[in-house]
Every structure is written in structure tokens, then in C-alpha cells.
């Protein structure tokens, strides 16, 4: 289950959390989306939004992205790791735009 934990002020960063059991241990996967990434994705409507507004605008997409991140990171989880937190900040805006388009196309397909 995805939890929104981002900044709720205008111009904030979107932070999404996913907790998973991996190797019998609870791991936390954190995905951070920079303000300019989610603003550009939904512009012009997003010009005055908070990160929470952007999350609510298309929650299924953001949940999909956070779950995908957790899936990818859990494949690399080491059973003996003392640090059971994995944090990723999106750094490729073009990839995010493409992923959003793919998600929308898949959602339209019966």
C-alpha cells in the first residue's frame, strides 16, 4: 500500500512510501518526485497545486510508480542488510513523461 508523505505546501516535493516484507524483514521504499517534474506533467492546471493535489489528481499512476519502484528495489535487497530503507529521487523527467503516457495507454486498453 502506498502512503503519501510529501510536502503539502505549494511547490513541495512529492514523497511516496511503500512498506514491504522482504527476507522476513520490513523494508521501506521511498520515492521522491521533484516539484518541477509533477508540475510539468500536469501543467497548466498544476501551477498552483501542492504535491498532495498532484497525487490526488492521478493517484492510480503515482501508486503504480511507487509500487514499481518498490518491486525493482526489493529485487536488490540483501537479507543481511542493517539498513532496510531504500530512497530514490526521480532524476529523469523525460522518463516520467513517457511512463505516464504508457500508463494512460494501458489504462485505456480493455
* Percent of all residues in the chain with a pLDDT value above 70, rounded to a whole number: 95
* Percent of all residues in the chain with a pLDDT value above 90, rounded to a whole number: 58
Distance CA 64, CA 61 (A): 5
Distance CA 109, CA 51 (A): 28
Number of domains in the chain: 1
Distance CA 110, CA 99 (A): 19
pTM, whole model, 2 decimals? 0.86
**44 prior amide bond cis, ω within 30:** yes
Q: What is the pLDDT of residue 47?
A: 79
Residue-wise pLDDT for 2-17, tens only, equals: 999 977 776 689 999 9
Which residue range is the domain that position 67 belongs to?
2-108
Three-state SS for 89?
Answer: strand
The arithmetic mean of pLDDT across residues 52-65, rounded, is 95
DSSP E strand boundaries for 1-110? 2-4, 14-22, 25-33, 85-89
Stronger pLDDT, 36 or 9, i.e. the higher one: 36
Amino acid at each position: 500500500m502506498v502512503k503519501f508523505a510529501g510536502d503539502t505546501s505549494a511547490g513541495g516535493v512529492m514523497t511516496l512510501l511503500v512498506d514491504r516484507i522482504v527476507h522476513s524483514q520490513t523494508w521501506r521504499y521511498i520515492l521522491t518526485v521533484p516539484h518541477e517534474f509533477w508540475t510539468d506533467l500536469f501543467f497548466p492546471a498544476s501551477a498552483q497545486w501542492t504535491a498532495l493535489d498532484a497525487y490526488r489528481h492521478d493517484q492510480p499512476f503515482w501508486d503504480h510508480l511507487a509500487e514499481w519502484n518498490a518491486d525493482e528495489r526489493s529485487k536488490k535487497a540483501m537479507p543481511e542488510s542493517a539498513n532496510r530503507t531504500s530512497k530514490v529521487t526521480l532524476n529523469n523527467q523525460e522518463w516520467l513523461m513517457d511512463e505516464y503516457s504508457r500508463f494512460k495507454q494501458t489504462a485505456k486498453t480493455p
